[in-house]
Amino acid sequence: MPVSCLEPKTPSRALRAACLLFGLCVAPLSSHAEDRIEGLFFPSVTAIHRSGLPQNDELKANQIIPSLDMLVIGSHGPVSWLAEIFVSEREHELARLSGGWRSGDTLLSVGKFHNLQGYWNTQFHHGAYLQTTIDKPGMVEDSAPLPLHYVGAQIEGKLSQWGEGLLNYSIGVGKGSVMQDKLESPDIVGPGKFGDLSLGLRLSYTLDEISPTQVGTFFAHNKIPVKNNDWIGITQDIGGLFGNWESDPFRVIGELYAFSHKLEGSGATDSGSFLYGYVQGEYRFAPHSTAFARIEETSGAHLDPLLAFLPDFALDKHLIGLRYDVTRNQSVKIEASRVKRMDAGFRQLQIQWSAVFP
Q: Note the residues at the interface with another protein (CB under 8 A).
A: 33-34, 36-38, 40, 71, 73-75, 77, 80, 82, 98, 100, 102, 107, 109, 122-125, 127, 129-130, 209-210, 212, 248, 287-288, 325, 328-329, 356
Query: Please, what is the minimum distance in Å from the beta carbon of residue 40 to another protein?
Result: 6
Spell out a b/e string for 113-151, using b for 16 or more CB atoms within 10 Å of the CB, else e.
Answer: bbbbbbbbbbbbbbbbbebbbbbbbbbbbbbbbbbbbbb
- CA-wise closest residue to 216 among 237, 245, 236: 245
Query: Please, what is the minimum distance in Å from the beta carbon of residue 125 to another protein?
Result: 5
Nearer to another protein, 10 or 32 (CB): 32
Nearer to another protein, 127 or 254 (CB): 127
Please calculate the CA angle 194-197-199 and round it to the nearest 5 degrees.
125
- Beta-bridge partner residues of 244: 214, 253
Nearer to another protein, 136 or 182 (CB): 136
Query: Please, what is the minimum distance in Å from the beta carbon of residue 98 to another protein?
Result: 7
As a dihedral over the C-alpha atoms of residue 47, residue 53, residue 56, residue 62, rounded to 10 degrees, the angle is: 20
Distance from C-alpha of 269 to C-alpha of 71, rounded to nearest angstrom: 42
Query: Please, what is the minimum distance in Å from the beta carbon of residue 73 to another protein?
Result: 6
Distance from C-alpha of 58 to C-alpha of 344, rounded to nearest angstrom: 12
Nearer to another protein, 113 or 259 (CB): 113
| 39 backbone dihedrals φ, ψ, rounded to 5° | -110, 135
- CA-wise closest residue to 277 among 305, 300, 261, 299: 299
For residues 100 and 78, is the Cβ–Cβ distance under 8 A? no
Nearer to another protein, 119 or 309 (CB): 119
Query: Please, what is the minimum distance in Å from the beta carbon of residue 208 to another protein?
Result: 8
Query: Please, what is the minimum distance in Å from the beta carbon of residue 281 to another protein?
Result: 18
Query: Please, what is the minimum distance in Å from the beta carbon of residue 246 to another protein?
Result: 9
Query: Please, what is the minimum distance in Å from the beta carbon of residue 134 to another protein?
Result: 17
Nearer to another protein, 123 or 235 (CB): 123
For residues 332 and 351, is the Cβ–Cβ distance under 8 A? yes
Nearer to another protein, 71 or 139 (CB): 71
Nearer to another protein, 70 or 144 (CB): 70
Ranges of beta strands (E only) in the chain are 37-51, 62-76, 79-88, 92-103, 106-114, 149-162, 165-175, 178-179, 183-184, 197-206, 214-225, 231-247, 250-265, 269-286, 289-299, 314-327, 330-341, 345-355
Nearer to another protein, 50 or 251 (CB): 251
Query: Please, what is the minimum distance in Å from the beta carbon of residue 87 to another protein?
Result: 17
Nearer to another protein, 74 or 186 (CB): 74
Query: Please, what is the minimum distance in Å from the beta carbon of residue 328 to another protein?
Result: 7
CA atoms within 13 A on the CB side of 124: 20
For residues 143 and 59, is the Cβ–Cβ distance under 8 A? no
For residues 178 and 193, is the Cβ–Cβ distance under 8 A? yes
H/E element, 121: helix 120-123
